[in-house]
Amino acid sequence: MTPQRLDAKTESLILLTLLDVFCEWMRDFMEERNCRDPLPLNSYEQWTDGRSDG
């Protein structure tokens, strides 16, 4: 089976779909990070604040 070039319309549709999926994935990934990050960040800031005070 020889790979044949898709027509421009189909190609752009596929690209848009992939881009959409990628954006969706990135959004989920960033949301997960935002939910998880604040605690370590806070404890690190408290730790550095405590050291500079003492």
Q: Based on the number of CB atoms within 10 Å of its own CB, is 3 exposed (0-12), middle (13-18) or buried (19 or more)? A: exposed
Tell me whether residue 50 is in a domain. no
- Flag whether 32 is in a domain: yes
**Residue 16: inside a domain:** yes
- Containing structural domain, residue 16: 8-36
pLDDT value, residue 13: 94
Q: Is residue 43 part of a domain?
A: no
What's residue 29's pLDDT?
A: 84
Residue 53 lies in a domain: no
Q: Has this prediction a pTM greater than 0.85?
A: no
Please check whether residue 44 lies inside any domain of the structure. Answer: no
Query: What is the pLDDT, as a whole number, of residue 54?
Result: 47
Structural domain includes residue 30: yes
Compute the chain's Rg from CA coordinates.
23
Q: How many domains does the chain have?
A: 1
Closest CA to 43 of 11, 17, 51, 7: 51
What does the alpha-carbon distance between residue 17 and residue 8 come to, in Å, rounded to a whole number? 14
Q: Does residue 26 lie in a domain region?
A: yes
pLDDT digits (tens, 9 = 90+) for 17-49: 999 999 899 888 888 766 655 555 555 555 566
8 compared with 51, residue with greater pLDDT: 8
Task: Kindly give, in sequence order, each residue whose CB lies less than 8 Å from that of residue 14, ignoring residues fewer than 6 positions away.
Answer: 6
